[in-house]
Structure 1
């Protein structure tokens, strides 16, 4: 697995804060069950801790 962080700061994915965290919380309340979103959060935290590409640091990324 190679995470690619497109238009999002990896630390926001890891910590589920900022605009990324707000979007997760909104979906948790409106579209998906809380249990499902909590599983997503755990998986995203794990993925964000892997080495990956932060496209903010790549030319034309």
Structure 2
């Protein structure tokens, strides 16, 4: 996402066996993983990750279930 913002690059997200709304809203395993990392001292870093994944979850991309 930094390349998209700073250099105007195009981003094509591929959602492989995950619902884009889970990425966007950090539900399910995404929410659990972020909670784990925040408890273990990566709070500032996870805020950047969360923001980037929220943006990615909004973009149009490929939603792949059985590929």
Q: CA deviation at 1:54?
A: 0.6
Instruction: Tell which structure's C-alpha radius of gyration is larger.
Output: 2
Aligned pair count? 57
- Structure 1 residue runs of 5 or longer lacking an equivalent are none
Q: TM-score, normalised by structure 1?
A: 0.80
Corresponding residue of 1:20: 30
Alpha-carbon RMSD across the aligned residues, in angstroms, is 1.3
Corresponding residue of 1:34: 43
What is the alpha-carbon distance in structure 1 between the residues aligned to residue 61 and residue 45 of structure 2? 25
Corresponding residue of 1:51: 60
- Structure 2 residue runs of 5 or longer lacking an equivalent are 1-10
- Structure 1's consecutive aligned runs of 4 or more residues displaced over 6 angstroms after TM superposition are none
Q: TM-score, normalised by structure 2?
A: 0.74
SS at match of 1:45: helix
